[in-house]
C-alpha cells in the first residue's frame, strides 16, 4: 500500500470528462461570441452549507475509524465551506466486507443473481432522485470544484441519463443470458452466461466528481456487482450526496459504499485490497501504473482511463469563426480540466495569423467569474496546488522560448480564488514541456503545419492517445485523418461531444478498456461458458469395464461349446479367471 501513497496523494482521481450534448454547444456559442457584452462581476458567492456527512458503509452513515475529517475549500474564494470524513484502511476493510456480504446475501439472489429488472428499478429510482435534487447538487458541485453552474447543471442531467441508460442495459442483460453458441458437433449444446465480476473498487476524479463516479457506479451496479467508491479528496461532496440518494431509494445495504479520504489512506488500500475483485480508475498515468502494480500480485483486472495531450488539426478550408469556437471550447471547457482536452492546436499556416487573432478576441470575451454567477464560462481551477502547477507550466513555456499570446495570469478583477485567464501559447517547439505534458488547465499551445502528412505526424507526436479532432471542409480528408490519428476517440468538425451510448477510452498512455456504451457494462461482467452433452449415447472413448467382462464371458461360452463338441464337458480349472 505504501508504494501507492505519494502518487495517489498528488494525482488521485485527476482526469476525465463527459462533454455536453450538442444543444449545449449551441448555447455556449451565443455566450462566447465577441459581439456579446460580458456581464459585470458580482460579489463572491456567500459561504454555502455543505451537508455534514459521514462515510457510507453497509447502507448506514458511519464515522471514520480514526475520527478524522478534511476541510472542503471553495476554489472561488479560497475559504473553507465544510468538511468531509477522512477514511483510512480500517474503513476500507469495513466497506469491502459490506460489499462482499451484499454480493453473497441469500446466495446472491438479492442482488448479484437477481434479475436485471430488479437492479434496473433501483437505478431508475436513483436517476429520478438526481433529477429531483438537480438544483442543490449543481450548486454543491460548483462550490466544491469550481465548475461553472451551467456546466454542473448539465452534468446532473447526464448523471440521471447515465443511470437510466444502464437501467435499460440491466434489463436487456436478462435477455442476453444463456445465449447459444453454434458448435460443429450436434451431440453438444453450448451457451454463455454473463455474471458480475464481484466486488469492485472505483476511484474517481475531481473534474467531474459525480458524473465520473456515475460512469463507473451505474454500469457496475447494472451488472450485479457491489462497489466501494473512493472519490477524489479534492471534490467528494456530491459523491456523498449520491450515497444519501441510494439510502433514500432503499438500495440494498452494502451494494454501494462510499469512502472519502486521502489517496494514501483510502485509495491505496482499496487498490491493493485482496477482497476487491477489480479496480476501475480514472486519473493520472503515473497513478495508473501504481494501481496496475498493486493489482498484479493477485492478477486482479483493472481498467484505466488516464491522461491525454490531444491534438486538434485545423485546415485552411474551415469557417474561421466556427473553428475558433470549437478550438477554444475543446480546451477551455470545464476550466480546461479535461483529460480529453484538445490542447495541442495544429494549425495550417495559410490561416495562422487570422486564426490566432480571432482566438485572442474570443478568449478575451470569455467570462471568467465566480462559478455561481450567471453567464460564467470559466471558473477557478480546483485547488491551490493545481493553480501553482499551471502557472509553472506557463512560465516554463516562456523560459523555453514560447510566446504567451494571451492569458496565463490571474484576471485583474478577481483578487481571490484559483483563477487563470484562458491562455494561448504560440512559437511552440515539439521538444517543449508545454507540447509534451498534460497541463490540465485552460492552456492551449499552437503549432503550424503546411502539409497533411506533417499534420498527421504532429498529431501523433505524443505518448498519449485518448482523443483527437480534425476540422476541415473536405470530408475525404477528415476520413483520412480519422484513420491516421492514433487515439480512441476522434471528433470531426467539433471537439468534446460525448454520449453515454458511445464507448469512451484511449490508447497508449491514456489507458485501456472502454467506459460507456454497451461495452461499459461488460467491464463488470465475466463470461461463463456452459457446455452440455446432449446425446443418449455413451461417449465411447474408453472401453467400458462391464462390456469387457461381457465380452470375456461370451468368449468362455464359445470355448465351452467347442469343448463339449470335442467330447469334454469340463473347462480347465481357472480358465475363466485366467482369461479375465
Q: Taking the mean position of all CA atoms in its chain, how far away is CA 222? A: 15
**What was the pLDDT predicted at 550?**
76
| Distance of alpha carbon 337 from alpha carbon 145, whole angstroms | 10
Predicted structure pTM score: 0.87
Provide the sign of the torsion angle of the four alpha carbons 160, 52, 231, 462, taken in this order: positive
Let me know: does 488 contact 467? Beta carbons within 8 Å: yes
CA distance between the termini of the chain: 66
The residue ranges of every structural domain in the chain are 55-307+520-529, 311-499
DSSP letters, 465-486, are ESEEEEE-S-HHHHHHHHHHS-
| Distance of alpha carbon 179 from alpha carbon 544, whole angstroms | 35
55-307+520-529 against 311-499: fold identical? no
Let me know: does 255 contact 229? Beta carbons within 8 Å: no
CATH architecture of residue range(s) 311-499:
3-Layer(aba) Sandwich (3.40)
> Of 325, 326, 335, 332, which Cα lies nearest the Cα of 362?
325
Cell 497513478 sits at which residue?
287
Q: What is each CA distance from 402 to 136, 226, 430, in whole angstroms?
A: 43, 50, 11
- What stretches of 1-109 adopt beta strand conformation (E)? 55-57, 60-62, 69-74, 79-85
**Residues 6 or more apart in contact with residue 473 via CB below 8 angstroms:** 315, 317, 318, 319
Three-class SS state of 278: strand
- 361: cell is 478576441
Identify the DSSP state of 524.
Answer: T
| Distance of alpha carbon 107 from alpha carbon 101, whole angstroms | 10
Which residues are part of the catalytic machinery?
305
| Distance of alpha carbon 392 from alpha carbon 420, whole angstroms | 12
Per-residue pLDDT of the chain (580 residues; tens, 9 = 90+): 333 332 332 333 333 333 333 333 322 222 333 333 232 233 344 444 799 999 999 999 999 999 999 999 999 999 999 999 999 999 999 999 999 999 999 999 999 999 999 999 999 999 999 999 999 999 999 999 999 999 999 999 999 999 999 999 999 999 999 999 999 999 999 999 999 999 999 999 999 999 999 999 999 999 999 999 999 999 999 999 999 999 999 999 999 999 999 999 999 999 999 999 999 999 999 999 999 999 999 999 999 999 999 999 999 999 999 999 999 999 999 999 999 999 999 999 999 999 999 999 999 999 999 999 999 999 999 999 999 999 999 999 999 999 999 999 999 999 999 999 999 999 999 999 999 999 999 999 999 999 999 999 999 999 999 999 999 999 999 999 999 999 999 999 999 999 999 999 999 999 999 999 999 999 999 999 999 999 999 999 998 887 777 777 777 665 565 556 555 444 444 433 434 3
Number of helices (H), then strands (E), belonging to the chain: the values are: 19, 22
- 221: cell is 451496479
| Distance of alpha carbon 410 from alpha carbon 441, whole angstroms | 13
Q: What is each CA distance from 387 to 208, 409, 475, in whole angstroms?
A: 17, 10, 40
- 550: cell is 461381457
**What was the pLDDT predicted at 552?**
72
**What was the pLDDT predicted at 566?**
56
**What was the pLDDT predicted at 14?**
33
Q: What is each CA distance from 335 to 91, 381, 424, in whole angstroms?
A: 33, 6, 14
Longest Cα separation, the chain: 128
**What was the pLDDT predicted at 44?**
42
**What was the pLDDT predicted at 7?**
31
Cell 469343448 sits at which residue?
563
Which burial class, exposed, middle or buried, applies to 561 when counting CB atoms under 10 A from its CB (0-12, 13-18, 19+)?
Answer: exposed
For residues 251, 257, 258 and 263, what is the CA-based torsion angle, rounded to 10 degrees? -160
| Distance of alpha carbon 358 from alpha carbon 366, whole angstroms | 13
Is domain 55-307+520-529 given the CATH code 3.40.605.10 in the classification?
yes
Amino acid at each position: 500500500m505504501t508504494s501507492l501513497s505519494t502518487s495517489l496523494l498528488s494525482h488521485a482521481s485527476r482526469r476525465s470528462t463527459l462533454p455536453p450534448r450538442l444543444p449545449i454547444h449551441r448555447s455556449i456559442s451565443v455566450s462566447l461570441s465577441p459581439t456579446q457584452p460580458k456581464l459585470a462581476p458580482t460579489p463572491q458567492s456567500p459561504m454555502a452549507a455543505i451537508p455534514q456527512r459521514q462515510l457510507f458503509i453497509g447502507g448506514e452513515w458511519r464515522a471514520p475509524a480514526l475520527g478524522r475529517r478534511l476541510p472542503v475549500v471553495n476554489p472561488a474564494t479560497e475559504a473553507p465551506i465544510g468538511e468531509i470524513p477522512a477514511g483510512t484502511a480500517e474503513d476500507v476493510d469495513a466497506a469491502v466486507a459490506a460489499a462482499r456480504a451484499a454480493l453473497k446475501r441469500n446466495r446472491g439472489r438479492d442482488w448479484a443473481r437477481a434479475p436485471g429488472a430488479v437492479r434496473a428499478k433501483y437505478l431508475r429510482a436513483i436517476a429520478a432522485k438526481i433529477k429531483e435534487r438537480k438544483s442543490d447538487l449543481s450548486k454543491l458541485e460548483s462550490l466544491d470544484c469550481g465548475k461553472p453552474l451551467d456546466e454542473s447543471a448539465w452534468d446532473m442531467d447526464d448523471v440521471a441519463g447515465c443511470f437510466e441508460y444502464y437501467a435499460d442495459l440491466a434489463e436487456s442483460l436478462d435477455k442476453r443470458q444463456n445465449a447459444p453458441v453454434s458448435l460443429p458437433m450436434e451431440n453438444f449444446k453450448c451457451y454463455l452466461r454473463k455474471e458480475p465480476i464481484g466486488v469492485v473498487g472505483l476511484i474517481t476524479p475531481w473534474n467531474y466528481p459525480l458524473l465520473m463516479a456515475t460512469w463507473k457506479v451505474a454500469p457496475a451496479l447494472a451488472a450485479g456487482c457491489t462497489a466501494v467508491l473512493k472519490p477524489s479528496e479534492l471534490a467528494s461532496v456530491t459523491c456523498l450526496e449520491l450515497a444519501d440518494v441510494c439510502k433514500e431509494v432503499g438500495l440494498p445495504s452494502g451494494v454501494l459504499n462510499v469512502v472519502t479520504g486521502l489517496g494514501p489512506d483510502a485509495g491505496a488500500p482499496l487498490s491493493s485490497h485482496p477482497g476487491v475483485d477489480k479496480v476501475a480508475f480514472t486519473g493520472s498515468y503515473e497513478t495508473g501504473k501504481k494501481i496496475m502494480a498493486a493489482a498484479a500480485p493477485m492478477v486482479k483486472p483493472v481498467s484505466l482511463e488516464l491522461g491525454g495531450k490531444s491534438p486538434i488539426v485545423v485546415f485552411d478550408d474551415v469557417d474561421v469563426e466556427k473553428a475558433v469556437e470549437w478550438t477554444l471550447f475543446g480546451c477551455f471547457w470545464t476550466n480546461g480540466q479535461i483529460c480529453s482536452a484538445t490542447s495541442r492546436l495544429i494549425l495550417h499556416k495559410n490561416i495562422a495569423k487570422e486564426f490566432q487573432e480571432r482566438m485572442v478576441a474570443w478568449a478575451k470575451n470569455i467570462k471568467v467569474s465566480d462559478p455561481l454567477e450567471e453567464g460564467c464560462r470559466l471558473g477557478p481551477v480546483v485547488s491551490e496546488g493545481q493553480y501553482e502547477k499551471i502557472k509553472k507550466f506557463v512560465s516554463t513555456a516562456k523560459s523555453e522560448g514560447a510566446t504567451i499570446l494571451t492569458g496565463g495570469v490571474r484576471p485583474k478583477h478577481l483578487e481571490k480564488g484559483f483563477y487563470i485567464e484562458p491562455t494561448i501559447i504560440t512559437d511552440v517547439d515539439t521538444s517543449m514541456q508545454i507540447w509534451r505534458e498534460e497541463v490540465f488547465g485552460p492552456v492551449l499551445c499552437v503549432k503550424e503545419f503546411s502539409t497533411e502528412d506533417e499534420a498527421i505526424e504532429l498529431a501523433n507526436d505524443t505518448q498519449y492517445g485518448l482523443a483527437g479532432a480534425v476540422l476541415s471542409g473536405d470530408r475525404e480528408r477528415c476520413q483520412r485523418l480519422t484513420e491516421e490519428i492514433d487515439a480512441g476517440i476522434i471528433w470531426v468538425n467539433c471537439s468534446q461531444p460525448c454520449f453515454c451510448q458511445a464507448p469512451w477510452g484511449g490508447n497508449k498512455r491514456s489507458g485501456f478498456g472502454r467506459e460507456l456504451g454497451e461495452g461499459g457494462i461488460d467491464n463488470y461482467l465475466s463470461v461463463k461458458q456452459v457446455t452440455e452433452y446432449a446425446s443418449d449415447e455413451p461417449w465411447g472413448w474408453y472401453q467400458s469395464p462391464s462390456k469387457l467382462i461381457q465380452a470375456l464371458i461370451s468368449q468362455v461360452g464359445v470355448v465351452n461349446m467347442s469343448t463339449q463338441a470335442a467330447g469334454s464337458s469340463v473347462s480347465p480349472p481357472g480358465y475363466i479367471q485366467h482369461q479375465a
